[in-house]
Chains A and B, each alone.
Chain A
């Protein structure tokens, strides 16, 4: 009997901090200790707590070890697996309370997990994604069975509709309505496409679902195929996600072998098969029409809508395109019922949403929360707050298409409508946290640089308009801003939003508009006072030496790469502002705190 399961995270985060090596050493140590028949090592998908990786959890005790190294493994085997003693120094038991508990705590009691609700990530960090049997053991493919043996396509669409499921890719379009449109389109050939072209910088939830629970996506695609009358599906995933691609390929192979994909599934006469198409990382290919163009083998450029893909999509046939996370909810809605799903979340935003927490936050990682959870809970409780005692300034949702939420609105519930009403958006789920050291003009510039780079160039507003906006922002951060620049930015932004061809261009000005809306004073300080309040914009920074504090040690002048600091030993030194290149080396060098940056 296998008495103990050791789950080692094999998500991209933990893999890059060495979890593959850990798994290898673990297995050999277990063999050496003679526990091969008693202890099983399982590689799983992402647990979510990427900041503390590589992570490992040992069942049945449920002990959670974080920041494990290969050198720790022999000790874990000897102490925990052989003798049943905890390796205390590796135990993660931060419950978010001031006083840490003595012993280990269950994962669900930790500050990071206790407010979370895992639906889309249900199997991530629980099953071995490369073993279809483990998925089946967690009720996998029972939804497909139920759909094929006891439901009509209309029943399926009705259940999804009643559940209130909306697209998790960003726009929040009701999933069932999309399916209904495609079902209503009359054609011999229809397609189901899974959009796994996750391009939002900092977002990695779709990647984690594919890596941790690929069968959930395949099962949902087959269900969608049955609902709309399609027999073929494509997963469009970026080639930069090698682990996701590999596990998805394995999953497709296993599902075909079991007859869960292919011809005459369960002997019901229903045919459905899935293949993978690799994207090369163009952001615009996450836009549905560009994605379809790319699958067709052409350069990934969007096309005007209407006709919508549900009417005329892939190869001119009716097609539905659903995001990975949306699909990850489908089988569970079928199994547990529409009411089960609809009781989570808010009136208009049902269910849960996965966010990739990044930026200035203690627990960077992946979290799944019921819709309507206040931003404060995500940042202060689940995310563990801002590092180094800094103050929360703003959070960016929706990445380059979204907007920022300032500290004054931290109690905003996170759902589609609330975020839209404050000028941001749900987006695909990137959540970047900023503290007082972040300059909002610089942030807007960062996201705009991204969209300028990623603009496909097909339509003028996006190709030229966003570049003109970036020119203005560059001027502002270099201290060459002029009166009227803010108004010019706003006018350009509104024109681009109104006239760009696809979602990329229509949303590209959002980060600029929302930072102007909430941090107009920062823009004005840059333009009028030539000052960056956060001290981030290099060109506007000014380094000065406080003559009271300067001991005249000359350490800074010796480190200065452009010899801008001069003076006589044991009397205060001065910085020549014309020569200074604002590299900040002097600030780091001074032991007396005499140099300040303004």
Chain B
């Protein structure tokens, strides 16, 4: 038997789970996972991204997907973050840098420009 409060709790918890099936006002994080990306270490970057997003409770506003080679293999692992018309391309990522980006960019809205391709 559930009380109204418990029901609302389920509702809030599940909303974030099913929201991935809608396109909302969210960050879309795309990790390059072609052969070049994987060889350069994209998998640990992806794992770090996913666990950090979970740890910071950002599932509601962050959608993670992956893409193939975008042609800048020497800069892999590449992580692109989209929101609206904005796009940031983070290059030569590591799990540690990824965690910083989650905290600063995805959580607090402050992109870390020194990790982006423009600073290379």
Chain A residues with a Cβ under 8 A of chain B: 1-5, 7, 37-38, 59-62, 82-85, 106, 126-127, 133-134, 136-142, 145, 149, 258-260, 262, 266-267
In chain B, positions 42-56 with a C-beta closer than 8 Å to chain A are 46, 50-51, 53-54
Is B59 in contact with A1, judged by CB distance below 8 angstroms? yes
Q: Distance in Å from the Cβ of A217 to the closest Cβ of chain B?
A: 19
Contacts of A262 in B (CB 8 A): 1
Bound-state Cα–Cα, A38 to B53, Å: 12
A258: nearest chain-B partner, CB-CB: B2
Bound-state Cα–Cα, A141 to B33, Å: 41
In the complex with contacts A133-B14, A145-B7, A258-B7, A3-B65 CB distance below 8 A: yes
Is A137 in contact with B14, judged by CB distance below 8 angstroms? yes
Is the CB of B73 closer than 8 A to any CB of chain A? no
Q: Distance in Å from the Cβ of A159 to the closest Cβ of chain B?
A: 21
Instruction: List the 3 shortest-distance A-B pairs measured between CB atoms, nearest first.
Output: A137-B14, A84-B66, A259-B1
Contacts of B21 in A (CB 8 A): 5, 7, 59-60, 126
A139: nearest chain-B partner, CB-CB: B11
Bound-state Cα–Cα, A436 to B54, Å: 59
Is A137 in contact with B63, judged by CB distance below 8 angstroms? no
Bound-state Cα–Cα, A2 to B50, Å: 8
Q: Distance in Å from the Cβ of B53 to the closest Cβ of chain A?
A: 5
Is B18 in contact with A134, judged by CB distance below 8 angstroms? yes
Is the CB of B3 closer than 8 A to any CB of chain A? yes
In the complex with contacts A59-B21, A83-B68, A136-B33 CB distance below 8 A: no
Is the CB of B67 closer than 8 A to any CB of chain A? yes
In the complex with contacts A85-B34, A259-B1, A60-B7 CB distance below 8 A: no
A260: nearest chain-B partner, CB-CB: B2
Contacts of B110 in A (CB 8 A): none
Is A138 in contact with B2, judged by CB distance below 8 angstroms? no
Is the CB of B120 closer than 8 A to any CB of chain A? no
Q: Distance in Å from the Cβ of A37 to the closest Cβ of chain B?
A: 8
Bound-state Cα–Cα, A126 to B1, Å: 26
Contacts of A267 in B (CB 8 A): 3-4
B1-30 vs A, CB cutoff 8 Å, 1 = contact: the mask equals 111100100110111011011010000101
Is A38 in contact with B2, judged by CB distance below 8 angstroms? no
A86: nearest chain-B partner, CB-CB: B68
B11 partner, pick from A59, A84, A127, A142, beta carbons under 8 A: A142
In the complex with contacts A1-B50, A137-B10, A127-B3 CB distance below 8 A: no
Q: Distance in Å from the Cβ of B93 to the closest Cβ of chain A?
A: 15
Bound-state Cα–Cα, A1 to B53, Å: 7
12 contacts between A and B (CB under 8 A): A2-B59, A3-B64, A4-B20, A7-B21, A60-B20, A106-B23, A126-B21, A133-B14, A142-B11, A145-B4, A258-B1, A260-B7
Contacts of B65 in A (CB 8 A): 3-4, 60-61, 84
B58: nearest chain-A partner, CB-CB: A1
Is A1 in contact with B4, judged by CB distance below 8 angstroms? no
Is B20 in contact with A5, judged by CB distance below 8 angstroms? yes
Contacts of A59 in B (CB 8 A): 20-21
Is A60 in contact with B4, judged by CB distance below 8 angstroms? no
Contacts of A259 in B (CB 8 A): 1-2
Contacts of B10 in A (CB 8 A): 133, 136-137
Contacts of B38 in A (CB 8 A): 83
Is A85 in contact with B68, judged by CB distance below 8 angstroms? yes
Bound-state Cα–Cα, A168 to B22, Å: 28
Is A137 in contact with B17, judged by CB distance below 8 angstroms? yes
Contacts of A133 in B (CB 8 A): 10, 13-14, 17
A79: nearest chain-B partner, CB-CB: B68
Is A84 in contact with B23, judged by CB distance below 8 angstroms? no
Contacts of B63 in A (CB 8 A): 3, 60
